[in-house]
Structure 1
Amino acid sequence: MTATIDAPRSPYAQTKRGVNWEKWGWIYMRASGIMLVVLIFGHLFVNLMTGTGISQIDFGFVAGKLADPFWQIWDTLMLWLALIHGANGMRTLVNDYVSRPGTRRLLHGALAASTVVLLVLGTLVIYTFDPCPAGADPSLVASFCEGL
């Protein structure tokens, strides 16, 4: 008795002319994974190991980090790489396990829409965060904002 393995169900596994998006997705996953390891461990080291450790993390600490252009770029890279990395992984799962084309298109659309919304909102938070908004009630803002 011999066992046979069925071909993958994904219609995207077929060879086509033009850009090989599956290959570039595979390469992106490897490159972004390496970059994310560096970014995430750097983030954890600065937040948990330097200074007074975890006890230093409060609103003022986060506000100070988000005021520094270096950390804005660092956090933006982490956000974009992680979200696109995760969305690409979910896209691969959808391709592997969803056999109906209509359902696959719907899931890919939902995945793309949610990724775009999260990227836009996350990027806006990183670059527009203001811990001391002008005209705010002094009782509602951080203690270091008093005097504005």
Structure 2
Amino acid sequence: MSNSAIASPRDKYRRTTLTRGNFELWGWLFMRVSGVILVVLIFGHLFVNLMVDGGINRIDFAFVGGKLSSPFWQTWDLLMLWLAMIHGTNGVRTVINDYAERHATRVVLKSLLAIGFTITVVLGTLVIFTFDPCPANSPAELLPTICEAR
């Protein structure tokens, strides 16, 4: 064994391989910040849905339709969806990096993760912004009571 294989402890550290830069640092910071924001969003969501004004007994199609008609609740739900999905996807990506030993396995798992993330976020966003509890030209007897005001 030659002495050149082991650097002196007093030598300045130099990376010898390509690194990912600050991506992992930003991912780590994002997890902490998004976790705190998600706690506020989720407990606010639960409080409004389960505790305020009659609690769980008032949750029905009309309640959900009314909430999804409000720009405030659309924004709230959109933030919850996006932050939760990015937060969870980043966490699963980290687990894949830690436990998938083969490069091909990591590529397949991360691809499946990206596909699942994309489908869920796109469909969830579409539901939040396109949900209409009172579709036009629908028979009146099939519409919920909140549609009578139209």
Report the TM range for the smaller structure's normalisation. 0.7 to 0.9
Letter paired with 2:63 = F
Unaligned runs of 5+ in 2: 1-15
Which position in structure 2 is the counterpart of 1:22?
24
Distance in structure 2 (CA, Å) of the matches to 1:15 and 1:81: 33
Q: Secondary structure at the match of 1:102?
A: helix
> How big is the shift at 1:36?
0.1
> How big is the shift at 1:146?
4.8
Cα gap change, 1:147 to 1:90, in 2 (>3 Å): same
From 56, 59, 66, give the equivalent of 2:58: 56
Distance in structure 2 (CA, Å) of the matches to 1:52 and 1:125: 26
Distance in structure 1 (CA, Å) of the matches to 2:146 and 2:23: 50
Letter paired with 1:76 = L
Distance in structure 2 (CA, Å) of the matches to 1:71 and 1:147: 20
Distance in structure 2 (CA, Å) of the matches to 1:60 and 1:15: 58
Which position in structure 2 is the counterpart of 1:70?
72
Which position in structure 2 is the counterpart of 1:10?
none
Q: Residues 23-38 of structure 1: matches in 2 within 5 Å?
A: 23-38=25-40
Which position in structure 2 is the counterpart of 1:111?
113
Which position in structure 2 is the counterpart of 1:95?
97
Letter paired with 2:48 = V
> How big is the shift at 1:49?
1.0
Which position in structure 2 is the counterpart of 1:86?
88
Distance in structure 1 (CA, Å) of the matches to 2:97 and 2:90: 11
Cα gap change, 1:28 to 1:16, in 2 (>3 Å): farther
Q: Provide TM-score, normalisation by structure 2.
A: 0.83
Unaligned runs of 5+ in 1: 1-13
Which position in structure 2 is the counterpart of 1:120?
122
18-27 or 136-145, larger mean C-alpha shift: 136-145
Q: Secondary structure at the match of 1:124?
A: helix
135-144 or 98-107, larger mean C-alpha shift: 135-144
Distance in structure 2 (CA, Å) of the matches to 1:147 and 1:64: 12
Which structure has the larger Rg? 2
Distance in structure 2 (CA, Å) of the matches to 1:71 and 1:122: 14
Identity of aligned residues (%): 59
